Every structure is written in C-alpha cells, then in structure tokens.
A and B are shown apart, each in its own frame.
Chain A
C-alpha cells in the first residue's frame, strides 16, 4: 500500500475517564481504508470504550479523531451516516422477530416500507436465517443472534464497520461463519475495526493489529510482526508417564532450548518457532522410548503475547482491570 491510501480512521490522543479510572488513556490509531484493523486486548483494557468513542456514542475527554474524514464530535451525525456498529452485547431487539428487527433498521435508515421488507428478506436468506425469520430473537442461539446482528449492520452497506468482539461466546462453527461473513464484507470494500480478545481471530482477519492494555496501545504491527516480536510459538508435550519427564526435559532442552515444566506433572513446553524442528524434537522423544500422550505446536496465544509485552498474563490483566474499571456499566 502506498501513502496515498486515505485513512478511514485517524485518532490522536483519545482519552476517556470514568471517575478515577482512565479507561482510554491516550490512544492513537491510523486505519487504512479497505483494511481490517484489529484492536487486541483483555477484558477491561479499554477496547470497548475506544470503539464507542469512534462510533460517536461517547464523547472523548481529550484528543480527537476523524472517521472517514469527519470529526467524531463536531460532525458526529455525518459519521453516523457512514458507519455501523455491532456491539459487544448483540445489538438487536430480543422481543421482536428477526424479520421485524431488519425492517425496523431499514425503515430508520430511510427505506420505504416495500424496499425495507425486500431487503430484510434478502439478508435473512443470505445469512441463513430465513427459516427463523418469524421467530422472536430471544429464542435464537448465540450464533444466529450474531448473524442477525451483523445483518442489521449492513441493511444499508456501511463504509466502515465497528465489530466489538463478534465471536466471544460462540462455538467454533458459528465463529467460522462469522469470520466468513467478515471476509465477504472486506471483499466488498468495507473497512472494519475489529475488537477482539483472541490473537487467532486478529491473525485470521486483520491486516494490522494494535495491542491495548490499561487504555494504552502497547504494541502495533502486522500479525506476523507481532508474533515474531513476542516470541514465536510453543511446543506443548504431555507424557503418558510423569516419571519420564526429567529425561524428556533433557532431550527437548538439547533440541530446542530452555524447557518450561508445567504444573501438570506430565506436561512440559518449550519455545519453538519452526514447525520442522518441533516435529523433529517430538520424533526424537519417541525414538528415545519416551511415551507421549499428546503434543501440539501452536502459535502464541494472547496470553503469551501479553506475557511477553507486559510481564503478566492477559488473565491477570483482565482481573485487575475489571476491578478498577466500570467500563461496561459506565458505557
């Protein structure tokens, strides 16, 4: 991409406090048009607050931002005319049917009655909800609700879409469906700002990622850069016989470097960037008569990214931050 590409989001020094807590504490963001930008962080890190400011739902205490060229405070209404928001709680009306929800949004966006109905039918069909169209949303499963939520966001196709944790709480199958919808949106030219707790999700979808903690951006880059900078993947091995762990530790240490022994007496793990060398190491264990129950070679999790960036795990960060932040409530 060249420097010419216009920025869809340009934020400088955004700050938002709730009482004593600075939920967002000086966030800068630059998101290219047509890209998917991931904002990654644990619960309570300030992701939702940041997205709510950009979607004009909250007024920043300090700093400024332009979304699609419009100031989020001065020209909030113009921004609202170009974006759509899929909130963390599914932003649909549980006491209406799926079809009624989509017609409602269509009418509010200015569609006449007949086109609003036609559009609702088209979207219900495309999102695999045609059969459930006449049922109240409160009877929908989590995945169906999410799909309806996203459908409601594209009743009129937005230029920019805010997605706040679109797959949290979904089973893997529903998660894959949501991902494929997001890919279709991107292919259609919509810019997406995606908040997520999952490194894998950001890795799958995003062109660029900002890692956020305590309301600040603590790292930024492509998924590849981020993973490379925080220390590769890890090989996890569980043995059938815990007695053999010291021997396994010695062998893995020789093959791959410093071995971490897990609290589980039969498990151990070691940093490993190269899948080939990982496989070789596992083969070496087997050759030496060490019996393996299971093993995996994974990319770093958000937890590992966090550990590397902040010296504490994402889970610890979430606990301490939800203690301090009333983000969800105040928002």
Chain B
C-alpha cells in the first residue's frame, strides 16, 4: 500500500497548458445520469476493485472452505453418522455462512472510502444521493455470488448431490444473496459510525460469528438446552439455512422463504435510510 514517490514524476511531462485550455473549452454539460445509471456505475466501480484487489475475496472464501473440510471430516461421522450425510446438512449452512461473512466487507469498504477524500467528490456530484451506497452493494452482490459459487463447487467435488438439482441450488444461492443484500445495510450503517475499517471488521465479526454459530448452520438444535434451542430456532440465520437446505432438497416451505424475504426487506427498510442519512449529513 506504500506510495512510491517515483522518479517518473520528474520524467513525465507535466500538464500542457494549451491542451488544458482546449480540454476546458471542449465540453458542454451532458444530461444528468439517471438514478439507475449512477448506481450501476458505482457497481462497476466495485467490480473494478475486485479485479485490482482480489485478496479480499480470497480472505472471505478461504475460511468457509476450511470450515467445510474440517467440519465434514472431523465431526461428520460423530454428528450425522457419516461424512456424506453431514455434507448434505452442512453445505447449505456453510453457503449461508460464507456469504454472510462477506457482507461485513461492505461496511469495511464504505468506512475505508470515508477515510479517503473520494467520498467528498461523490457527495459533491449532482447524482441520486443513495447511488454510491446502492451501487456498491450491487457490486458486492456479485461478490456474494462468487463466494457462494466457490462453496457449491467445493461441495460438488466432495460428493454433495442435492435432490433438487441445478434449479434448487440456484434458487438457494439467490435467496442467500437477497438476504445478504438486506444484512449488508446493517454493516454499512456500522461502517458510517465506526472510526476505522479495523473497528468495523471487529464489530462486524463479533456480531456475525456468534450469530452464525448460534444457528442450525452446523448442528441440529434438538440436542441443545431449551432456552438456547428456542433462540437458535428464531435466529433468522437458522431460518435462512433451513430454507436453503429445503430449496436444495426440494422440500422448502413457503413459510421459511417468506420469513427470509421479510427479514431482508425489514433490514433494508430500517438500515438503508439510516445509512443514506448518515452518508448525506456526515
């Protein structure tokens, strides 16, 4: 990340005053970008970042890959009788975990932007106000797709053969990405409020880690103490994991899917305006 003061600065020609004058004279003001076009442009910016800094994506994919391998082969026999039976159970769960962990990075990326001057530029442009936020989350959704796909492919390699076939898997992936879009607004709000990207990362994972473990992602909650079992059952992450398993197995209940979509909508309804407001008035 260090800035190398290159000798190039001395070698490259500086600005050409005549060319600058010409450049200034040569534009008329175009019609304003539409809300959708501005948001998509910010989505494109998110894609470019993945292209230039792919490490981020690697970070968030490696942990779930390790989890799949460790849990399946260490605990599979004990928890579910066989590793292959456990893989059927845990793979949709880890898909959920993997994508939800990625949502924390939306908050980190926003906070990183805020510590640089570039946000000032965006805020001084005549564009739809929430465009930078909506756009980066659209870009992030593509990352969620990538993270989810990695886990599914790994599962297939290890012998995961879902009943509902390709359609079921794609439906599950879509549901997880929609939920992740809603959840990421929570982390962008956090990103607006915390002082540094590191603080966002800590607070984000402190929240998402226990919430993921206190769900049915890894284990069937039937063996848990009553109070804990009750919590695990209402945890939206459990509902999402159940719905994903259902979609992959062809046994999904409309009720579970409804709860997941409603939760995503509720999170967006509360935290999207909050983030936008903080972004505007900061």
Contacts and interface: CB of A to CB of B under 8 A. Distances in A.
Interface of A: 52, 55-57, 59, 77, 80-81, 83-85, 87-97, 100, 104-105, 107-112, 115, 119, 122-123, 125-129, 131-132, 136, 138-144, 147, 152, 154-157, 173-174, 176-177, 180-181, 183-185, 187-188, 190
Given A125-B19, A184-B17, A94 B116 contact: yes
B126 interface: yes
Interface stretch (B29-37, B60-68, B246-254, B260-268): B29-37
Nearest to B41: A107
Contact of B123 (A57, A95, A141): A57
A108 B33 contact: yes
B117 A107 contact: no
A180 B125 contact: no
18 contacts: A57-B120, A77-B126, A80-B124, A87-B121, A93-B118, A95-B52, A107-B44, A108-B38, A108-B41, A108-B127, A126-B22, A127-B20, A132-B12, A141-B5, A141-B9, A143-B9, A156-B27, A190-B24
9 nearest interchain CB pairs? A89-B117, A126-B19, A91-B121, A141-B9, A188-B24, A177-B14, A81-B126, A110-B30, A91-B117
Contact of B45 (A57, A87, A96, A184): A96
Given A59-B281, A138-B1, A177-B15, A91 B21 contact: no
A190 B21 CA distance: 11
Contacts of A57: 120, 123-124
Interface string B102-141: 0000000000000011101111111100010000000000
Interface in B180-224: none
Contacts of A126: 15-16, 19-20, 22-23
B58 to A, nearest CB: 16
A82 B202 CA distance: 41
Contacts of A84: 124
A157 B27 contact: yes
Nearest to B3: A138
Interface residues of B, number: 50
A8 B159 CA distance: 69
Interface of B: 1, 3-6, 8-10, 12-17, 19-27, 29-33, 37-38, 41, 44-45, 48-49, 52-53, 116-118, 120-127, 131, 281
A93 B45 contact: yes
Contact of B15 (A109, A128, A139): A128
B121 A105 contact: yes
A128 B14 contact: yes
Nearest to B19: A126
A100 B281 CA distance: 28
Given A141-B9, A154-B24, A83 B17 contact: no
Contacts of B15: 126-128, 147, 177, 180-181, 184
Given A92-B121, A109-B32, A138-B3, 13 more contacts: A57-B120, A96-B45, A107-B41, A108-B41, A109-B30, A127-B20, A128-B12, A128-B15, A141-B6, A176-B14, A180-B14, A180-B20, A188-B24
A109 B4 contact: no
A323 B70 CA distance: 52
A81 B48 CA distance: 26
Given A77-B126, A96-B49, A122-B23, A180 B17 contact: yes
A224 to B, nearest CB: 25
B24 A89 contact: no
A96 B48 contact: yes
Given A96-B48, A180-B17, A129 B12 contact: yes
A152 B25 CA distance: 15
Contact of A187 (B3, B21, B45): B21
A204 to B, nearest CB: 15
Contacts of B9: 141-144, 174
A85 B121 contact: yes
A190 B20 CA distance: 13
Given A141-B8, A188-B21, A91 B30 contact: no
A111 B31 CA distance: 8
A187 B23 CA distance: 12
Given A108-B41, A108-B127, A136 B14 contact: no
A111 B30 contact: yes
Contacts of A157: 24-25, 27
A183 to B, nearest CB: 7
A173 B10 contact: yes
Contact of A110 (B23, B25, B31): B31
A143 B10 CA distance: 10
A52 B121 CA distance: 11
Contacts of A185: 20, 24
A85 B17 CA distance: 21
Contacts of A56: 124
B8 A183 contact: no
A234 B219 CA distance: 81
Given A126-B20, A190-B24, A88 B32 contact: no
A150 to B, nearest CB: 8
A136 B6 contact: no
Contacts of B45: 93, 96, 100, 104
Nearest to B125: A108
A135 B8 CA distance: 12
B1 to A, nearest CB: 7
B14 to A, nearest CB: 4
A55 B124 contact: yes
Contacts of A104: 41, 44-45
